[in-house]
Amino acid sequence: MTAIILPDSVDLERIRMTEHGNRVDCSRSPDERQAKVPERTNRRLAELLAPQITADGFSPTSLPGVEYMRAVTSTPRHPIVYTPRIVVIAQGHKRVWLGEREYVYDTEHLLVLSVPMPFECQTTASEEEPLLGLAISVDPILVGELLLEMGDAANAEPSSYVSSTAVNEEVMDASVRLAEALASRSAGRILGPQIVREIVYRVLTGEEGDVLRLLVSQPNRHGHIARVLRRIHADYAADLDVTSLAREAHMGVSTFHHAFRDATSTSPLQYLKSIRLHKARALLVTEGLNAQDAARRVGYASASQFSREYRRMFGRSPASDRAAVPA
């Protein structure tokens, strides 16, 4: 049985980005309204997850939209794409980079993401101290329903589409109850949806609730860019061009370029290329497609161009990349 070892309660790695990109200690919120989660709660979550998770990386639970996370080895920075989700870590820690912005999520911090986003990701884990966690997909319909019930306007002006925020005891307690339910297939299906709803509500009413508000329609620049990001993620194989995307965002091309880069730290075409290459990698790994078929499926007209750009991003050729993709 894997030993459960918790990291030290506070260290210099437990940080997040401020609006201006500065690294600050966020083991507590500025006004200390976020109570520090007791170690026994983290330990309980780790003890519940350890026997349930049988595969490394992301693996499905009995509840659609909720995935297990496990890593037993540390991994250096590598490219990855995350979809809108809340990530709760029971043990270990990860960090992601969006351009020059760095986010850490661990036993004291959630990762909250409202749009599909390509990152560079690094994991710290070992056989003795595996990374264990839950990745909870966030449904825009659920967010909209909660905002209506709360009587809350959906207008949001966040500083980012992604946040690493201090986890509070309410979220961690709900995560423990979710892990308890997931231990039983029937309990996971019956009780799990309400617990997920509670977790989304707790995050929505917390420090970084505005990040989740971007999942519903927003009549402002942030909402327009979020809608374009979701469009690219859904229609990556289509013949998309910057002019039509700018039109969808109700912006001129120059303004759109600036707003898009501010949100993603990359250009619209580089973002599209990254999404296509990650989708192709998933096809190579999970369906065993060859490079030519994978290239065609994700919207590349030239297999040779696809192979060049694939090697440039992942450091290996499509033909050799049939191993599992790290989480």
pLDDT values of the chain reduced to their tens digit, one per residue, 327 residues: 444 333 333 333 333 333 333 333 443 443 444 456 677 888 999 999 999 999 999 999 999 999 999 999 999 999 999 999 999 999 999 999 998 899 999 999 999 999 999 999 999 999 999 999 999 999 999 998 998 898 875 555 666 789 998 999 999 999 999 999 999 999 999 999 999 999 999 999 988 788 888 888 666 788 889 889 999 999 999 999 999 999 999 999 999 999 999 888 899 999 999 999 999 998 888 888 888 999 999 999 999 999 999 999 988 888 887 554 455
CATH 1.10.10.60 applies to domain 221-320: yes
89's enclosing H/E stretch is: strand 85-91
Other beta carbons within 10 angstroms of residue 299's beta carbon come to: 19
Residue 310 tokens, joined: 């694939």
Q: Distance between CA atoms of 125 and 94, rounded to whole angstroms? A: 9
Residues in the chain: 327
- 133, exposed or middle or buried, with CB in 10 Å at 0-12, 13-18, 19+? buried
User: What number of other Cβ atoms are within 10 A of residue 257's Cβ?
Assistant: 17
What does pTM read for this prediction? 0.78
For the 15-213 domain, the top CATH level (class) is: mainly beta
Q: Report the DSSP pairing between strands 57-60 and 101-105.
A: unpaired
Domain parsing of the chain, residue ranges: 15-213, 221-320
